[in-house]
């Protein structure tokens, strides 16, 4: 991915985390991960995970905390 494409994923993920960060309780990382699992295609989740593994430049602390909770792509998809 190019820098611009990474930046876009980072921006989107940070936006999502910012919403759940404002919700009451301490489940923001879980809620952020749930949102990403529900609405992001596996390739986008993988790209985000790879970026986080590479240092996660630009990612908010909450996104960084959510990344380990991302679900790997289900393997029961049609071949």
Partner 1 sequence: MPLIKEADSGTPPSAATEVVSLTIDGQTVMAPAGTSVMRAASMMGTAIPKLCATDSLQAFGSCRLCLVEIDGRAGTPASCTTPIADGMVVRTQTPKLAKLRKGVMELYISDHPLDCLTCAANGDCELQDMAGAVGLREVRYGYDGANHLCAEADESNPYFTFDPSKCIVCSRCVRACDEVQGTFALTIEGRGFASQVSASQSQPFMESECVSCGACVQACPTAALTETAIIDIGQPEHSVVTTCAYCGVGCTFKAEMRGEQLVRMVPYKDGKANRGHSCVKGRFAWGYATHRERILNPMIRRAVTDPWREVTWSEAIAYAASEFTRIQAAHGRNSVGGITSSRCTNEETFLVQKLVRAGFGNNNVDTCARVCHSPTGYGLKATFGTSAGTQDFDSVEHSDVIMVIGANPTDGHPVFASRMKQRLRQGARLIVIDPRRIDLVRTPHVQADHHLPLRPGTNVAVLNALAHVIVTEGLVDEAFVRERCDWEEFQDWAEAVAAPANSPEASEAFTGVPPETVRQAARLYATGGAAAIYYGLGVTEHSQGTTAVIAIANLAMATGNLGKLGAGVNPLRGQNNVQGACDMGSFPHELSGYRHVSDDDARGVFEALWDVELDAEPGLRIPNMLDAAVQGAFKGLYIQGEDILQSDPNTTHVAAGLAAMECVVVQDLFLNETANYAHVFLPGSTFLEKDGTFTNAERRIQRVRKVMSPRNGFGDWEITQMLSNALGFTMSYSHPSEIMDEIASLTPTFAGVSFAKLDEEGSVQWPCNAAAPLGTPVMHLDGFVRGKGRFMLTEYVATDEKVGPRFPLLLTTGRVLSQYNVGAQTRRTANVAWHNEDLLEIHPEDAEQRGVRDGDWVSLKSRAGETSLRATVTERVAPGVVYTTFHFPQTQANVVTTEYSDWATNCPEYKVTAVEVALSNGTTDWQTRYQAHTRRSRRIAQPEPAE
Site of interaction with partner 1 (CB under 8 A): 1-2, 5, 8, 11-12, 15-16, 18-19, 22-24, 35, 38-44, 73-74, 76-79
State the SS3 of the chain: CCHHHHHHHHHHHHHHHHHHHCCCCCCHHHHHHHHHHHHCCHHHHHHHHHHHHCCCCCCCHHHHHHHHHCCCCCCCCCC
What is the smallest separation between the CB atom of 8 and partner 1, expressed in angstroms?
7
What is the smallest separation between the CB atom of 54 and partner 1, expressed in angstroms?
17
Nearer to partner 1, 43 or 55 (CB): 43
């Amino acid at each position: 991915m190019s820098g611009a494409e990474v930046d876009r994923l980072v921006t989107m993920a940070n936006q999502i985390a910012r919403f759940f960060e404002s919700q009451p309780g301490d489940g923001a990382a879980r809620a952020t991960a749930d949102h990403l699992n529900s609405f992001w295609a596996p390739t986008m989740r993988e790209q985000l995970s790879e970026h986080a593994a590479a240092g996660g430049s630009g990612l908010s602390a909450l996104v960084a905390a959510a990344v380990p909770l991302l679900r790997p792509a289900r393997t029961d998809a049609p071949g």
